[in-house]
A and B are shown apart, each in its own frame.
Chain A
Amino acid sequence: MRVMVLIKADERAEAGELPDQKYLEAMLNYNEELVKAGVLLAGEGLAPTSRGKRVRFKDGRTTVIDGPFTETKELLAGYWLWQVRSMEEAVEWVKRIPVPEGYEQEEGVVEIREVFEPEEFGDTMTPEMQEKDRQWRSAGNQ
């Protein structure tokens, strides 16, 4: 199974504060461990939302909103895509994410979300719906 591991932003990340060398090194080692275990498929760190945009859809119209966004708890600072054997394994890996020095007392949240496998719709989707899903996917991806 695949999981998306979402690292929630905090005020420092939103302020554009970069981690120090020691922390970066710990993070690199951690990523290397993930690679060597065959777990890490992809991942990126995200720039603060001051460099982001939102597009809101409403009443058939779109509105573009400039960052930064204020609801810090909902914002993301980075993500990983992992291949694991179970949710429990993902939790064990997340528990091993290094905590930067000076951050021990602060609250941080990492969210683990299961990636849907297309087969999972197998029983609930009729063949017509599956075909429609396929068409939708191909339209979206081309």
Chain B
Amino acid sequence: MDVKRTVDAVWRMESARLIAGLARMTHDVGLAEELAQDALVSALEQWPQSGVPDNPGAWLMAVAKRRAIDLFRRNAVLERKIVELGHALPEAEDFAFEPDHIEDDLLRLVFISCHPVLPTQSRVALTLRLLGGLSTEEIARAFLAQEPTVAQRIVRAKKSLVGVPFEPPAASERPERLASVLEVIYLIFNEGYSATAGDDWIRPSLCEEAMRLGRILAGLMPDEPEVHGLVALMELQASRLRARTGPDGQPILLLDQNRALWDRVLIKRGRTALERAAKLGGTLGPYGLQAAIAACHARALTAGETDWAQIADIYEQLAKLMPTPVIELNRAVAVSMAFGPQTALEIVEPLAESLSDYHPFHVVRGDLLAKLGRVADARSSFARAAELTRNTRERDVLLERARTGR
């Protein structure tokens, strides 16, 4: 087997733990990553001859530690910096292998990669780099960005983190810091979810990467309901990945999907994660509630069996936590399915001003008006939606509906 590919695989498995452990010792995430990268280079040089060691993680750690100790001995500036930061200089024994620390260290690495001092895009790039073990080139390809841009972003992020303590957030900051971590993971997931058939394979693989990060996080913070909520949401959404596009790559709406193509393993995992979130007590958060909606759809064997009243009810809870017009619009769709178009239209009309440029608003409004037999009003709603959409295929459909009012 190709040793280079094996080294890559080992790197992706071990790098986060390696960097996390080194960051605790050096108090510098950027330096920790460089040391880990140096160890990777050594592996690439030596393993083709020596073979892959039995415990490759420990091998990489030993090499990186040796480099770290050399560096500190030789580099007076670095020494001074560490002392100024109020830390003791690391000694050889500080670099002893401490498996008990690993989970704490990983959690710190998660929080620091998603630190609020960084712009969101940098949090995403750093998380994929430090926790996912992706190369800069892979991150650039996945986000359709230029490699130098992403490299710059990572360099700047690492600079911004110099002096930021490698500590878990204080209790008072924890909810906000956790929200940032969850947001970053969900952003990665959605970037993968939005990939289309012709894209580079690495884009859809972002979904798997995000799910993996979510599951790792659930292991590190088993008592946080929203972590399980996010995992549940991602597993349930991913369960429909195969069903959401037709043979020609055209999108298929949820209610028109062939449910036999939904992935039962992921549905089961999603529902289990949702149960864990619910069991942890309290009410579900935004991720948990969105997962609960996805679970309602997953439970229905046919679109006709969907429990719309329950979905409308969950949307109402969600709207209380996140009072946005788009969530109200979604609630209206569920209400329409459960209680009829007139009730739904009463929710939709007040949104006209805030969603005037949002084409799904006009589609939903047109649908409701058409169902109520108000053909002229429906036609003008569909016409407005057709003006606003940028998808040509959808525009054709909407223009046809604008013509017929149905």
A interface residues with partner B (beta carbon < 8 Å): 35-39, 41-42, 81, 83, 85-86, 88-89, 91-93, 118-119, 122, 127, 130-131, 134, 137-142
Which residues on B sit within 8 Å (CB–CB) of A140?
Answer: 260
Q: Mask for B203-220, Cβ within 8 A of A = 1, else 0?
A: 001001001111110011
- B260 to A141, Cβ gap below 8 A? yes
B217-271 interface (Cβ within 8 A of A):
219-220, 242, 247-248, 258-261, 265, 269
| B212:A83 contact, CB within 8 angstroms | yes
Question: A131–B260 Cα gap in the complex (Å)?
Answer: 13
In the complex, what residues of B have CB within 8 A of residue A130's CB?
Answer: 247
Contact between B269 and A41 (Cβ–Cβ < 8 Å)?
A: yes
Q: How far is the CB of A10 from chain B (nearest CB, A)?
A: 23
Task: Write the residues of chain B forming the contact surface with A, with a CB cutoff of 8 angstroms.
Answer: 1-2, 5-6, 8-10, 12-13, 56, 197, 205, 208, 211-216, 219-220, 242, 247-248, 258-261, 265, 269
State the majority secondary structure of interface residues on A: helix
A134 with B13: CB separation less than 8 A: no
Which of B8, B214, B259, B269 lies in contact with A86, CB distance below 8 A?
B8
Q: How far in angstroms is the closest Cβ of chain A from B318?
A: 27
Contacts of A138 in B (CB 8 A): 258-261
Complexed CA–CA distance, A108 and B195 (Å) = 41
Q: Chain A contacts of B265 at CB under 8 A?
A: 41-42, 81
A86: chain B residues at CB < 8 Å are 5, 8-9, 12
For B269, the chain A residues whose CB sits under 8 A away are 41
Q: A35-B215, A118-B242 are in contact. List 10 more A-B contacts (CB 8 A).
A: A38-B212, A38-B214, A38-B216, A38-B219, A81-B265, A85-B12, A86-B5, A91-B1, A92-B10, A122-B197
Residues of A within 8 A of B247 (CB): 127, 130-131
Q: Check if A88 sits within 8 Å of B6, measured CB to CB.
A: yes
What CA separation (Å) do A85 and B247 show in the bound complex?
A: 26
* B313 CB, nearest partner CB in chain A, Å: 29
A142 to chain B, nearest CB (A): 6
**B219 in contact with A35 (CB, 8 Å):** yes
A39 to B242, CA, bound (A): 20
* Residues B6 and A38 in contact, CB atoms below 8 Å apart: no
**Which 3 residue pairs of A and B lie closest in terms of their CB atoms, listed nearest first?**
A138-B260, A38-B215, A38-B212
Contacts of A119 in B (CB 8 A): 197
Q: What are 17 A-B interface contacts by the 8 Å CB criterion?
A: A36-B219, A38-B212, A38-B213, A38-B216, A38-B219, A83-B212, A86-B5, A86-B8, A88-B8, A91-B9, A92-B9, A92-B10, A118-B261, A130-B247, A134-B261, A137-B258, A138-B260
CB pair A137 B216 closer than 8 Å: no
**Chain B residues whose CB sits within 8 angstroms of the CB of A91 once the complex forms:** 1, 6, 9
> Can you name the residue of chain B whose Cβ is closest to the Cβ of A39?
B212
Q: From residue B47, how far is it (CB to closest CB) to chain A in Å?
A: 12
Rounded to whole Å, the gap between the CB of A53 and the closest CB of chain B is: 23
A127 to B246, CA, bound (A): 9
Q: How far is the CA of A91 from the CA of B1 in the complex (A)?
A: 10
Bound Cα distance A88, B260 (Å): 31
For A118, what are the chain B residues with a Cβ–Cβ distance below 8 Å? 242, 261
Q: Please, which residues of chain B bring their CB within 8 A of the CB of A139?
A: 260
